[in-house]
Amino acid sequence: MKPFKSFFTLIPALLGLGMTPGISQAAEEVNLYSARMESLIKPLLNQFTQDTGIKVNVVSGKADELLQRLKLEGRNSPADMLLTTDAGRLHRALEAELLQTVSSDILNERVPSSYRDPEGHWYGLSLRARPIMYAVDRVNPEQLSTYEQLASDEWDNKICIRSSSNIYNQSLVASMIAADGEDTTQAWAENLVANFARPPQGGDRDQIKAVAAGQCDIAVANTYYLAGMHYSQDESERQAAEKVAVFWPNQADRGTHINISGAAVTAAAKNRDNAIKLLEFLTSDAAQRWYGMVNGEYPVREGIEMNDTLASWGEFKSDDLNMRQLGELNAQALRLMDKAGWR
């Protein structure tokens, strides 16, 4: 598979249709704390400024560091909007009283109810599925079925996955608690840990590379990272990605676990109206197409075009659990994972 085109060459085609000419001087502004790399989201923000005249000032950083910064700044924070990954982090911001509610007919119409806070504190912008990934030369996909089945003896010494400190795994376990109950999930986690091929180490790309290298046969990872490897400029990453295939678990019941990247208006927002406009822009057709075509994520809206890599993995049934529950069950999931010896 050839590397995917640089997003810098695609943005004009994705965002330029139907847009008004640029405004040389931005009369207004909005301050964004973003856990996404500025270089990745900057083209979208530039287009928003061109379309509205609202300048976007970005502070980029790691998700947990930005949350801590918001806490320390309190009501004096200059941030109007927080953009971060994982519903669990959005819920932490909500619990810390860092967010305010937003009432927007546009957002409520565009963002499905399971991908937004029921009270309007935050809204999902893109989806990240966390399916099973397997070695195409060693695993028959007919051997696979559910997340629960990964705890069976068949996968002894064959599974790679990130540590319990990773919030993506915490949210996966939270979703299983919601579906199966705490006792059943506890037993599952203990048996899953017994099937680890190695102690958890590295990020999602490292788990995929370990499968490709034969260190394990199965990984649980976000499709976002596999997509990035497919159109990476690093040939070794592209080669590793070709050795791994996606299996959508739990298609006969609740569906594959998904998570979101999402955004919210901060409690301290001084430019609230502009922040809401930016939120609405990020759910527009053009912005959603950017997520699906350029960034390797699934749009939150149906019927949006996706790149060939995502399309090649086929359609799948996703878990419709409201994302808020991933945050509400996070502490329970952490205790369970610790008790299971998942380090």
324 and 200 belong to one structural domain? yes
- Size (the chain), residues: 343
- Say whether pLDDT at 132 is over 60: yes
Q: Which two tokens stand for residue 69?
A: 């910064």
Same-domain pairing of 215 and 157? yes
Residues 51 and 165 occupy one common structural domain: no
Average pLDDT rounded to a whole number, residues 272-288: 97
Radius of gyration of the chain (CA): 20
With CA atoms as reference, report the closest residue to 151 among 175, 132, 170.
Answer: 132
Residues 71, 156: one domain? Answer: no
In the numeric block, which tokens belong to residue 247? 């299996």
Q: Is 115 annotated as a binding residue?
A: no
Q: Mark whether 334 and 218 lie in a shared domain.
A: yes
Instruction: Clarify whether residues 321 and 234 are in a common domain.
Output: yes
Closest CA to 46 of 58, 59, 36: 58
Is 312 a domain residue? no
Residue 318 has pLDDT above 60, yes or no: yes
Query: What average pLDDT does the segment 54-81 reach?
Result: 96
Full residue range of the structural domain in which residue 322 is found: 129-256+317-339
Enter the tokens of residue 110. 């565009």
CA distances (Å), origin 218, targets 131, 141, 154, 302: 10, 11, 11, 30
Are both 202 and 333 inside the same structural domain?
yes
Q: pLDDT tens, 75-111?
A: 999 999 999 999 999 999 999 999 999 999 999 999 9
* Same domain? 197 vs 325: yes
Give domain status of residue 229, yes or no. yes
Q: Does residue 28 belong to any structural domain of this protein?
A: yes
27-282-223 Cα angle (round to 5)? 145
For tokens 């159109």, what's the residue? 231
For strands 132-135 and 218-220, give the pairing: antiparallel
224 labelled binding-site residue = yes
What's the mean pLDDT when you consider all of the chain?
A: 92
Q: What is the number of structural domains in the chain?
A: 2
Report which DSSP code applies to 148. G
The reply to whether 147 and 213 lie within a common domain is yes
The confidence score (pLDDT) of residue 41 equals: 87
Instruction: Give the pLDDT of residue 254.
Output: 97
Q: Do 109 and 133 lie in a common domain?
A: no
Please state, in angstroms and rounded to a whole number, the distance separating the CA atoms of residues 216 and 193. 14
Flag whether 222 is in a domain.
yes
Q: In angstroms, rounded to a whole number, what is the distance separating the alpha carbons of residues 280 and 111?
A: 10
Q: CATH number for the domain including 182?
A: 3.40.190.10
Residue 175 · residue 130 · CB < 8 Å: no
Q: What is the pLDDT of residues 252-261, one digit of tens each?
A: 999 999 999 9
pLDDT tens for residues 23-45? 333 459 999 999 988 877 899 99
Position 2 in a domain: no
Contact 58/297 with Cβ under 8 angstroms? no
Distance of CA 127 to the CA centre of its chain: 5
The answer on 159 and 78 residing in a single domain is no
Cα(99)–Cα(113) distance, integer angstroms: 18
For residue 16, name the pLDDT band (cuts at 50, 70, 90): very low
Only one residue has tokens 């996706």, namely 306
Q: Look at residue 1 and tell me if it is in a domain.
A: no
My answer on whether 156 and 246 are in the same domain is: yes
Q: What is the pTM of this model?
A: 0.90
Secondary structure tally for the chain: helices H, strands E: 15, 10
